[in-house]
Amino acid sequence: MTRTNKAHAAVLGANFIFGANYAVVKYITPSVIHPFGVNMVRIITSLALFWFVFLFKKGGNTIKRRHIARFVVCAMTGVVINQFFFIKGLSLTTSIHSSLLSLATPIFITIIAAWLLKEGFNWLKGIGLASGIGGAAILVLLKDSSQTGSDVLLGDVLVLINAISYAFYLVLVRPLMAEYSGVQVLRWLFTIGAVIMIPICIPDFAATDWSLFHFSHWLALAFVAVGATFIAYLWNVYGISVIGASATGAYIYTQPVFAALIAIFFAGEQFSLRKLMAALLIFAGVYLVNVKKASPVQGA
């Protein structure tokens, strides 16, 4: 297998993990562990692993003073807000809703890039934006009958906030990815994020009754902490370094497919006609806002 094929396989694997993560998180929270308790395990495990991997990576060990503020903002948007709102929102809504709403991230990236980076915004992107918002609105206002979400409306809103925050992160982190290695960026982002998250997560973590955990719960928690955070992040970084950011980012469209299949067959969720309509509107919106002439990929 060539290096390029390995990179494509790694990125596809990462997005399969992300897609499966929706159902896996739903399996353990809030039934056996509170959402912020999951965040505690996730941030500590991934932070330790990123520091361990960095010991074997060549390159600098520090960050430049002029980049500190950007690192803090990226840690807030890409780690703290992203993880808090994703886990909490998913615990309240359904796997299918969450995966489809998260797919709106590329639409928010286009809006934020047009605002912060002064990138072009034409009528086609405007139609795409309206389409994406329409699809998201259908999901948010849709009454789900699968009984897998205790407060679907609030959960959907939190997932949308997560998607907006992550879009800010993807735009703001570009200069850092061009200046430092991917592992170094992730290590410092998770370090800063841990300082903020751990004090908030301690009460939920301490309240966890570990005697309720069966073997399957431990496997699920390990999957979330190691697979969906550490391994998937590394595979995505590897993909960006080999096949570029655009090709790597395109694989995000596979996440709702994986998430829906797993949620339907293993979590008992239902995929209705209205969900299909919402999905088509969001997919159309993502396509339209990204229609442009080919240009060199910046960052890595």
Q: Tens of pLDDT along 196-254? A: 999 999 999 999 999 999 999 999 999 999 999 889 888 887 887 787 665 676 677 77
* pLDDT of 32 strictly over 60: yes
> By C-alpha distance, which of 160, 169, 163 is closest to 72?
169
If one compares 233 and 105, the residue with the highest pLDDT of the two is 233
* pLDDT of 124 strictly over 90: no
Q: What is the mean pLDDT of residues 270-284?
A: 72
Please report, for the chain, the start and end positions of each structural domain, with discontinuous segments joined by +.
3-289
The residue behind tokens 């929270």 is 29
Residues 6 or more apart whose Cβ sits within 8 Å of residue 250: none
Token duo for residue 237: 């970084």
User: Above pLDDT 90, what percent of the chain?
Assistant: 27
Confidence of residue 42 (pLDDT cuts 50, 70, 90): very high
Q: Tens of pLDDT along 281-299? A: 777 776 676 565 433 333 3
